[in-house]
């Protein structure tokens, strides 16, 4: 459990004593451990006292300050209403603890918060937190990175390593069988378009949601006979899972700013795909660019670009380049582009 | 823009006529004749001597014309005539031939100028019966020469498979 130290500034004697004892009373209901220390970094400041206001002006950039007043001052991120009561105290301290754990350097204190700031519980999205952006963005990136090991891919890898035939399933949906002998998977026909329209399925959930059961090789053969379905190369299932489970989160160990290029086209005869993947393959095999540039030039959403990039990374198609290198492709007229659209439309009819 | 066309070229028996037939909305007009050369006969009964022609009507009424070149070397003079003014090129290579990579070299060299000005996509057919050489071998060859074209397995008998190639070609023309 995290431990926080707190002190007070400019509180009158009564309030000060009251605060110290209340802190003890509420301790069991706090998500972190809080103790009173004179030299703490988190400070409750009485904003109705001149001394408190001056202290606020001087210290707001360096310390985490909680405004103590009848009305919430506009400049305060953290606020405890006067007089001190149990419930607001618990709420404030818990919200602050959550934000501090999110922001290890505790820089998020006292930047101006608009008067409209709704409530303590929404604090992580207030502008005050955003000012600590370098910390926030790395924290959220690592927290939000796509870790293939946490998806079906991790389970498949374990099955491959153990040379064990397996059955993977969520709820009552069609199972996926892995045959160790063939190094292939077996399931009903996979349609990326259908999957993309389904909120949760085997290929986009985290491992804990997947039931996996060792089975005999013969059970895989029996399943084909009984349920039909078709064999897929392991690569196709890994690819499909990466596309589905990434949800716009960059794969672990990669930086969004790094220019990348594809060594060659993914084998789209085997790997499930949608029309935008074809566009991305065309652009990314010819140009070295950051993913943001890829999104801009191909008019594909950044989330879809990231999903595709992750799948390509697992297929070992990605090449990192020192610098972006874009081909000058200005010669495609609007008339040509609309002709291409027309042909595509006719072909996909 | 006068004639809107895509040209299918590539090795003998790779499936050019079949591929056009798979997506054309009219029966393919072919100049196929019964094969007489022993070499061709070994593999199939007919071969294209001048060209194949198929078409698709777009929403606005324009026609997309699909031309196939003859595969045999002795009709090479037809290739450039057919390619003039085309949007792009589909190169089909029969993976069951004796030197499929050598065949690819021949087509790339022949159409180099055209490819530089437009683009191309390479479809490898008969991979179901002849998995070797694999795609990586083709890419290795292309990479040595700094050529960044898509190489995709194709089954000329399947319209989905042929559509996939044309999608890749259009993407190369617009974004590649
Ligand atoms: N097994 C298999 N057969 C194929 C595939 N693609 C095409 N074929 C068959 O291969 C033959 C190809 O014949 P064509 O379409 O006449 O080939 P072409 O390229 O027009 O040949 P030429 O006109 O002689 O140059 C046909 O019988 C097709 O059905 C494939 O991927 N696998
Ligand atoms: Mg022919």
Residue A267 Cα to ligand 1 middle (Å): 21
A-chain CB neighbours of B135 within 8 Å are 267
Domain spans in chain A, listed from the N-terminal domain onward: 3-110, 125-245, 260-347
- The CATH number of whichever domain residue B162 belongs to comes to 3.40.50.300
CA distance B167 to A68: 65
| ipTM of the complex model | 0.92
Within an 8 Å CB–CB cutoff, is residue B152 touching chain A? yes
Q: Which residue has the tokens 């199939």?
A: B44
* Pair B135, B124: CB distance under 8 Å: yes
Q: What per-residue confidence (pLDDT) applies to B42? A: 63
CA distance A271 to B17: 27
Q: Name the 3-class secondary structure at A264.
A: coil
Structure-block tokens of residue A147: 């870790």
Q: Is there a contact between B171 and A345 if contact means CB atoms under 8 Å apart?
A: no
* Pair A268, A240: CB distance under 8 Å: no
When divided into structural domains, chain B yields a total of: 1
Residue B155 Cα to ligand 2 middle (Å): 15
| Residue B27: domain span | 3-175
Q: Which of B175, B62, B65 is nearest to B119 (CA)?
A: B175
Please list the pLDDT of chain A residue by residue as tens digits (349 residues).
Answer: 788 899 999 999 888 888 988 888 788 788 888 999 988 989 999 999 999 999 999 888 788 899 999 998 888 888 999 988 888 898 889 888 877 664 433 333 333 333 333 333 333 333 333 333 332 233 333 347 999 999 999 999 999 999 999 999 998 788 999 999 999 999 988 888 888 888 889 999 999 999 999 999 998 888 877 877 889 999 999 999 999 999 999 999 888 889 999 999 999 999 999 999 999 999 999 999 999 999 999 999 999 999 999 999 999 999 998 888 888 776 788 999 999 999 999 999 8
List the beta bridge partners of residue A262.
Answer: A318
List, in sequence order, the alpha helices (H) in A197-268: 217-227, 234-245
Optimal mutation site among B88, B115, B171, B173, interface A, most CBs of chain A within 10 A: B171
Q: How far is B152 from chain A (nearest CA, A)?
A: 6
pTM: 0.72
The gap from C-alpha A198 to its chain's centroid, in whole angstroms, comes to 20
Optimal mutation site among A331, A343, A348, interface B, most CBs of chain B within 10 A: A343
Superfamily in which the A3-110 domain is placed by CATH? Response regulator (3.40.50.2300)
Q: What per-residue confidence (pLDDT) applies to A276? A: 96
CA distance A194 to A192: 5
Q: Is there a contact between A285 and B166 if contact means CB atoms under 8 Å apart?
A: no
Give the relative orientation of helices A275-286 and A302-314 as an angle to the nearest 10 degrees. Answer: 70
């Amino acid at each position: 459990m995290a431990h926080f130290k707190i002190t007070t500034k400019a509180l009158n004697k009564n309030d000060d004593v009251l605060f110290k004892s209340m802190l003890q009373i509420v301790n069991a209901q706090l998500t972190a451990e809080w103790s009173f220390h004179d030299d703490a970094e988190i400070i409750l400041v009485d904003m109705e006292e001149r001394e408190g206001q001056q202290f606020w002006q001087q210290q707001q950039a360096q310390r985490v300050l909680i405004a103590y007043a009848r009305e919430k001052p506009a400049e305060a991120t953290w606020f405890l209403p006067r007089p001190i009561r149990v419930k607001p105290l618990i709420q404030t301290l818990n919200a602050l603890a959550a934000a501090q754990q999110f922001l290890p350097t505790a820089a998020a204190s006292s930047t101006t918060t608009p008067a409209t700031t709704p409530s303590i519980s929404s604090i992580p999205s207030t502008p005050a937190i955003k000012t600590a952006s370098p910390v926030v963005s790395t924290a959220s990136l690592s927290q939000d990175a796509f870790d293939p090991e946490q998806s079906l891919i991790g389970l498949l890898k374990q099955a491959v390593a153990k040379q064990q035939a397996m059955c993977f399933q969520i709820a009552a949906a069609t199972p996926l069988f892995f045959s160790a002998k063939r190094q292939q998977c077996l399931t009903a026909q996979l349609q990326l378009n259908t999957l993309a329209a389904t909120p949760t399925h085997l290929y986009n959930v985290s491992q804990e949601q997947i039931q996996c059961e060792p089975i005999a090789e013969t059970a895989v053969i029996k399943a084909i006979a009984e349920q039909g379905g078709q064999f897929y190369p392991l690569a196709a299932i890994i690819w499909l899972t990466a596309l589905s489970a990434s949800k716009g989160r960059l794969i672990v160990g990669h930086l969004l700013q790094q220019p990348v290029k594809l060594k060659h086209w993914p084998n789209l005869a085997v790997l499930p795909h949608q029309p935008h993947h074809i566009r991305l393959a065309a652009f990314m095999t010819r140009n070295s660019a950051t993913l943001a540039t890829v999104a801009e030039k191909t008019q594909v959403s950044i989330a879809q670009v990231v999903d595709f990039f992750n799948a390509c990374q697992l297929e070992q198609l990605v090449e990192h380049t020192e610098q972006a290198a874009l081909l000058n492709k200005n010669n495609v007229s609007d008339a040509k582009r609309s002709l291409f659209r027309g042909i595509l439309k006719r072909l996909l009819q | 823009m006068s004639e809107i066309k895509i040209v299918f070229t590539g090795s003998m028996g790779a499936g050019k006529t079949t591929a056009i037939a798979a997506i054309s909305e009219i029966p393919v007009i072919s100049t196929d004749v019964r094969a007489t050369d022993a070499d061709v006969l070994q593999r199939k009964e007919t071969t294209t001597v001048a060209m194949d022609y198929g078409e698709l009507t777009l929403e606005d009424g324009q026609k997309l014309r699909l031309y196939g070149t003859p595969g045999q070397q002795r009709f090479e003079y037809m290739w450039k005539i057919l390619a003039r003014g085309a949007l792009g090129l589909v190169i089909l290579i029969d993976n069951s031939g004796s030197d499929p990579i050598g065949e690819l070299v021949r087509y790339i060299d022949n159409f180099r100028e055209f490819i530089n000005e437009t683009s191309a996509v390479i479809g490898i057919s008969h991979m179901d019966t002849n998995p070797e050489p694999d795609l990586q071998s083709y890419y290795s060859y292309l990479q040595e020469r700094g050529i960044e074209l898509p190489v995709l397995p194709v089954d000329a008998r399947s319209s989905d498979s042929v559509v996939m190639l044309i999608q890749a070609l259009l993407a190369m023309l617009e974004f590649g």
